[in-house]
Chain A
């Protein structure tokens, strides 16, 4: 037997087995040492990474009050249901079915998307807002679900007509999917999958919201049933509620999910939760940083399903957002809206704006742009309301006080008046004779009076001539001949006018052609027209006729109602251009003052006080002198100064290759009125604008009168 053990493998095998036993033991011991001792710390850290999750606790958003402390926005508790991308099942490409889609369908059925129409609508809305209309339509289309489309006005562009007419705004129509019809389940599943795919690229552990605005009972019911769907999260997300609805929507704006286009930007600004709702318009947008506060953080221990087991370590409590106190007075705002609305209805004017400002500080007391919209629809069910808003040709989402450019007409005349006085073109006693229309010779046929260009004043249509008038009278009567001549000169009398360069310079000094800097998004401005601008745009040089038109606020001059108001305020306060400000104070949650309103003077226009007084007198006379164009604004208890405007505009009709005209061949016109009061120590400056509303003195003056009456009886009683 021993012999045999040497000749074959039986003996050595037992030895080798024992040796293998030792070797295996040593190898395992060594490997354990390597993993647990040498690399132990790093594995310990990875185990901690597994079990700890940093949770962001959103700070309560700041609320907004009006000037007198009346609350304008608040936060209402509400619940949101989301799915966590990384907790959805992995879609195994080897199998026929899409595991992820099946799980999403289960989640959607759990919340009732297949049975409750309202729920299906809301899910679609939410994803519509998140994905944008293009992605939304593509995703639903690829899922094989038929979508209906509607045409909505799209982005506005400034169009320069080929025939050389004044530039105007036009909305380009675009197709948008109709979201007022509930989508079938496959469409919703596709949308959620798309949102999840985008969510994965950001932070796969952040839930993607699919349904919100649930009350406590419904939310808890879903949470109870969701125990077998580990991807479902139910979170409390307060909803912004706007107490004033459409009264203040242009000022307050609204909130919504971070738009896809701005996602990168917000991430860089430290927004770690891609589902956070942010201010998208109005003050909610401008003061997003202040209102948001600082989110808190806590470290929680989670199990593999992401369920919270306990809180670990220190908790950074959220710092509540700051509250805003506005310069706006809600009561005044209401009266402004009511007065304007009534007049617009009467005149069938499609658009209208009223803005009120303290001319001594730039504090905006009220700002109404009609039509308006209810900003609560962005937080709540949007559906049909939203479709209506999107489809409205009048584009109510735009705040025309800062977003609409219109010819100012005669309310612009204070600028050439102040300029001519300051530049010495005229003095207080210079008179110009209005003896009827004046003519500029045709530049190609200077000797043919038939072809000469005619310039009339509004009064000529009524068969009236004003005769010899000085600057104060010219403003009071709004005589156009006077301003033609001080603007462009008059060759037959050798009178030297301001000319293009001076006109443009003074126009710019009064704040035209630049943004007012108001603390609202979406402000626009036209540029101040000049010779070079015209050559570039129309390949024509500036003519005396252009100066004439510019001097009466027509032709190439375009301005927003707020720009007009800022220039009026400068006349009222003696020459200071103030930046309009909506927000008066920023206070913290405990009432401590964080930032106080300070008037911001942009510049002094540089008109001597005695000369500016003449312009003010002109505005005084327009209201208070017999025959003044704005006599209707005269109040008993307070002295008002003002200036009317009736601005012709061209609404181009392509079929007729001409602007819209009435039966007599006259262009339609906007009604304007700017005013301030009291005359000696102004507290309020007001700009009223009615698009296609009629004569300023007939339509805009009564609106202003109603507002001023209210202001000086209820808010600042005399």
Chain B
């Protein structure tokens, strides 16, 4: 099945850009943390995470993604069970939301890895029943399988993650292809549930939304957003120079090495630097969509689209938050933000896409 793997089929350009972004991320993490004693070795840690991620990427690429079809249903069941476990015995970590499972002293957030399980499972379901998707029960089945975990995540509560899942799931369904009448029906019923959701929004979610829509009234909570805007704005065309941003170096920016790393880039490297970073990030998404177009089967195509959607969504939400275009959520900037699980999982996702790329349609012509 995976005979004659050709190394030329690897999307080298995608890999190169990802590695550039990761290296760039390490230098920015250095700039954001080297003046803080407790964090001063974070750039080194990020480097280690990057090496682990790269190893994972290579292994993932060599692994034939089609084997995943077998793993999809059991892993989905496991995932749902984990979510139920979180719902019943979860740890709150003092945040007021029940997201973590304490497994032998280690805290695990199932929804992080769950994003990929969701992509793989949705891709499997949609490709497996591709021919029958125009029949309503199969579509409703897909929606039910999506909404089950979604509801559990929403109840944790974790609005950001729920929206991420909804976005990826919805996008996969659309890309897989449904009839237009089905689309209109779904849109209509989704709109009908909006009032219900507004009623169940948790207090902290409303607060964040209120801070976003009404910043003057939320001085203390708006502090971070405001400082991010000041940092970005102070960057100007060329920036204040790497490791010379006052907002960053004097710690007016909070969580600067993770959620607000884009503000650090904008402050220190200016409009030019921020635009270059954005271009590279969007290039990655573009390239992932290209892989999707070239995929040999529907499953591979949906996998690549899922990865593209995930990367795209995180870029938009994270950068949008830095630019005060969307409310604050804890989503990191792919490849750049500090964080082991975030970086490694993003690189694994790229590896998965590479696996699809290396086994593209060319085989059919042989």
Give a binary string over B304-322; 1 marks a CB under 8 Å from any A CB, 0 the rest: 0100110010011001100
Interface residues on chain A, number (Cβ under 8 Å): 41
Near A by CB (< 8 A), chain B positions 217-251 give: 220, 227, 229-237, 246-247, 250-251
Known contacts A28-B278, A50-B230, A303-B250; is A9 also within 8 Å of B323 by CB? no
A17 within 8 A of B: yes
State the Cβ distance, B135 to closest chain A Cβ, in Å: 12
B320 proximity list for chain A (CB < 8 A): 28
Cβ B286 vs Cβ A21 within 8 A: yes
B312 proximity list for chain A (CB < 8 A): 17, 20-21, 24
Give a binary string over A1-37; 1 marks a CB under 8 Å from any B CB, 0 the rest: 0001101111101100110110011011101110111
A515 within 8 A of B: no
Cβ B229 vs Cβ A35 within 8 A: yes
Q: Select one of B179, B230, B309 contacting A7, CB under 8 A.
A: B179
Cβ B289 vs Cβ A14 within 8 A: yes
B285 within 8 A of A: yes
A13 proximity list for chain B (CB < 8 A): 171, 174-175, 177
Cβ A43 vs Cβ B171 within 8 A: no
Cβ A8 vs Cβ B178 within 8 A: yes
A38 nearest CB neighbor, chain B only: B233
B293 proximity list for chain A (CB < 8 A): 14
Known contacts A14-B175, A14-B293; is A40 also within 8 Å of B308 by CB? no
- A36→B266 CA distance, assembly (Å): 8
- A37→B237 CA distance, assembly (Å): 6
State the Cβ distance, B274 to closest chain A Cβ, in Å: 5
B308 proximity list for chain A (CB < 8 A): 17
Known contacts A13-B174, A35-B229; is A309 also within 8 Å of B234 by CB? no
B271 within 8 A of A: yes
Cβ A50 vs Cβ B289 within 8 A: no
A20 nearest CB neighbor, chain B only: B312
Cβ A32 vs Cβ B275 within 8 A: yes
Near A by CB (< 8 A), chain B positions 152-187 give: 171, 174-180, 183
A9 proximity list for chain B (CB < 8 A): 174-175, 177-180, 183
State the Cβ distance, B269 to closest chain A Cβ, in Å: 11
- A35→B286 CA distance, assembly (Å): 26
State the Cβ distance, A11 to closest chain B Cβ, in Å: 8
B282 within 8 A of A: yes
Known contacts A303-B250, A309-B250; is A43 also within 8 Å of B278 by CB? no
A394 within 8 A of B: no
A304 nearest CB neighbor, chain B only: B251
- A210→B125 CA distance, assembly (Å): 69
Cβ B246 vs Cβ A35 within 8 A: no
Cβ B289 vs Cβ A28 within 8 A: no
Cβ A32 vs Cβ B323 within 8 A: yes
Cβ A44 vs Cβ B292 within 8 A: no
B325 within 8 A of A: yes
B271 proximity list for chain A (CB < 8 A): 32-33, 36-37
B351 within 8 A of A: no
B134 within 8 A of A: yes
Q: Size range of the interface on B?
A: 35 or more
B292 proximity list for chain A (CB < 8 A): 14
A444 within 8 A of B: no
A43 proximity list for chain B (CB < 8 A): 229-230, 232-234
Known contacts A8-B178, A90-B220, A304-B250; is A27 also within 8 Å of B325 by CB? yes
- A7→B181 CA distance, assembly (Å): 10
A430 within 8 A of B: no
State the Cβ distance, A84 to closest chain B Cβ, in Å: 16
B252 within 8 A of A: yes
B175 proximity list for chain A (CB < 8 A): 9-10, 13-14, 17
- A79→B348 CA distance, assembly (Å): 59
Cβ B252 vs Cβ A51 within 8 A: yes
Chain B interface SS verdict (over half): helix
Cβ A10 vs Cβ B282 within 8 A: no
B114 within 8 A of A: no
Cβ B250 vs Cβ A50 within 8 A: yes
- A90→B236 CA distance, assembly (Å): 33
Near A by CB (< 8 A), chain B positions 181-232 give: 183, 220, 227, 229-232
- A315→B234 CA distance, assembly (Å): 25
B316 proximity list for chain A (CB < 8 A): 24
B285 nearest CB neighbor, chain A only: A21
State the Cβ distance, A461 to closest chain B Cβ, in Å: 81
B300 proximity list for chain A (CB < 8 A): none
- A302→B229 CA distance, assembly (Å): 19
B220 proximity list for chain A (CB < 8 A): 90
B231 proximity list for chain A (CB < 8 A): 47
A39 within 8 A of B: yes
B298 nearest CB neighbor, chain A only: A10
State the Cβ distance, A592 to closest chain B Cβ, in Å: 43
- A530→B220 CA distance, assembly (Å): 67
A42 within 8 A of B: yes
Q: Select one of A17, A25, A35 contacting B278, CB under 8 A.
A: A25
State the Cβ distance, B148 to closest chain A Cβ, in Å: 23
B270 within 8 A of A: yes
A109 within 8 A of B: no
State the Cβ distance, B47 to closest chain A Cβ, in Å: 26
Give a binary string over A277-308; 1 marks a CB under 8 Å from any B CB, 0 the rest: 00000000000000000000000011111000
Q: Select one of A10, A36, A50 contacting B237, CB under 8 A.
A: A36
Cβ A18 vs Cβ B286 within 8 A: yes
B247 proximity list for chain A (CB < 8 A): 47, 50-51
Q: Select one of B183, B270, B323 contacting A31, CB under 8 A.
A: B323
Residue of B227, B232, B237 ringed by the most chain A CB atoms within 10 A: B232
B232 nearest CB neighbor, chain A only: A35
A595 within 8 A of B: no
A46 within 8 A of B: yes
Known contacts A43-B232, A303-B250; is A25 also within 8 Å of B176 by CB? no
Cβ A36 vs Cβ B236 within 8 A: yes
Give a binary string over B117-141; 1 marks a CB under 8 Å from any A CB, 0 the rest: 0000000000000000010000000
B236 proximity list for chain A (CB < 8 A): 36-37, 40, 44
Cβ A46 vs Cβ B230 within 8 A: yes
B234 nearest CB neighbor, chain A only: A47
Cβ B174 vs Cβ A40 within 8 A: no
- A13→B178 CA distance, assembly (Å): 10
Residue of B230, B266, B312 ringed by the most chain A CB atoms within 10 A: B230
Q: Select one of A33, A37, A50 contacting B252, CB under 8 A.
A: A50
A44 nearest CB neighbor, chain B only: B234
A47 proximity list for chain B (CB < 8 A): 230-231, 233-234, 246-247, 252
Residue of A20, A301, A304 ringed by the most chain B CB atoms within 10 A: A304
Cβ A25 vs Cβ B252 within 8 A: no
Cβ B278 vs Cβ A10 within 8 A: no
Known contacts A31-B323, A35-B323, A36-B232; is A10 also within 8 Å of B289 by CB? no
A31 proximity list for chain B (CB < 8 A): 323, 325
Cβ B233 vs Cβ A5 within 8 A: no
- A431→B316 CA distance, assembly (Å): 113
State the Cβ distance, B356 to closest chain A Cβ, in Å: 15
State the Cβ distance, B264 to closest chain A Cβ, in Å: 13
- A36→B175 CA distance, assembly (Å): 37
State the Cβ distance, A572 to closest chain B Cβ, in Å: 70
- A703→B329 CA distance, assembly (Å): 86
- A711→B289 CA distance, assembly (Å): 106
B220 nearest CB neighbor, chain A only: A90
Q: Which 3 A-B pairs have the closest CB atoms?
A: A43-B233, A10-B177, A47-B234
Q: List 9 A-B contacts (CB under 8 A).
A: A8-B177, A9-B183, A10-B174, A11-B177, A13-B175, A27-B325, A28-B319, A32-B232, A33-B271
Apart from A32-B274, A32-B275, A302-B250, what 15 extra A-B contacts exist at CB < 8 Å?
Answer: A7-B180, A8-B177, A9-B177, A14-B175, A18-B286, A21-B286, A21-B312, A32-B271, A32-B278, A36-B233, A40-B233, A46-B234, A51-B252, A301-B250, A303-B252
A contact residues vs B (CB 8 Å cutoff)? 4-5, 7-11, 13-14, 17-18, 20-21, 24-25, 27-29, 31-33, 35-37, 39-40, 42-44, 46-48, 50-51, 90, 301-305, 309
